[in-house]
Structure 1
Amino acid sequence: MQHGIHPTYRPVVFRDRSADLVFISGSTLTGEETTEIDGRSYPVIDVDVSSASHPFWTGQGRVLDTEGRVEKFRRRYGIDA
C-alpha cells in the first residue's frame, strides 16, 4: 500500500435529523461541523435516510401488487404464452 495517497479513516458521527438518531461509524468522509460525545470530538455528517427513518425498516413501506401484470399485458396485446 502506498503511503500518502489514501484518505484518513476515522470515527465519524452520522446524524439523521428526521429520526433524531446519532451513531458513530468509521468513514473517510469529513465534515465542517463537529460534536462532542463521551468527551471526544467527532466530525458530523448529516444523512437524509437511516435505518431509523427508512420506510422499509420502520414498517411504513408499501408493497405494490404486481400479480396479474403479465396476464394483463398478454390480454391487452393478444400474446399467447
Structure 2
Amino acid sequence: MKKNIHPDYHEIKVVMTDGTEFTTSSTWGKPGDTMRLEVDPKSHPAWTGGGNLLTQGGQLERFKGRFKDFKIS
C-alpha cells in the first residue's frame, strides 16, 4: 500500500435515534467524536417495513402492466 494516502481510522461513538450507543471504527470525525443519527435501521421505514412504497406501483409493476400480453413464440 502507498504511504500517507489513507485517511485516519479511529474509534468513534454512534448514538442511535432511540438513545442507544455503540463504539465503532471510522474515518469520520476525530478520535472520540460522537455521531448522532437522525435516521437509523430502528426508525426508518425501509428497515421497519412501514410505509407503502411497494404498493404505489413502482417500475416493476409498470413494466409488468405494459408487457402483460407479450408472448414469446
Q: TM-score range by the shorter chain?
A: 0.5 to 0.7
User: Number of paired residues?
Assistant: 65
Instruction: Name structure 1 gaps, 5 residues minimum.
Output: 32-40, 75-79
If you compute each CA radius of gyration, which structure gives the higher value, 1 or 2? 1
Percent pairwise identity: 28
**Runs ≥4 in structure 1, deviation > 3 angstroms?**
67-71
The CA deviation string for residues 7-41 of structure 1, in whole angstroms up to 9 with x for no partner, is 1112211223x32232222110115xxxxxxxxx8
Give CA-to-partner distance per residue, 1:27-74, whole Å, 9 cap, x none: 10115xxxxxxxxx8211122211111113223232324397454x68
Aligned to 1:50: 40
1:59 equivalent in alignment to 2:54: no
Q: Counting strand residues as a fraction of each chain, which structure ranks higher?
A: 1
SS where residue 25 of structure 2 aligns?
A: strand
Residue identity matched to 1:14: V
Provide the C-alpha distance between the structure 2 equivalents of 1:8 and 1:68, rounded to a whole number of angstroms. 45
CA RMSD of aligned residues (A): 2.9
Q: Where do 5+ consecutive residues of structure 2 fail to align?
A: none
Change (3 A) 1:68 1:12: closer
Taking the aligned partners of 1:14 and 1:45, their CA distance within structure 2 comes to: 5
Structure (1 or 2) with the greater helix fraction: 2
Residue 4 (structure 1) aligns with: 4
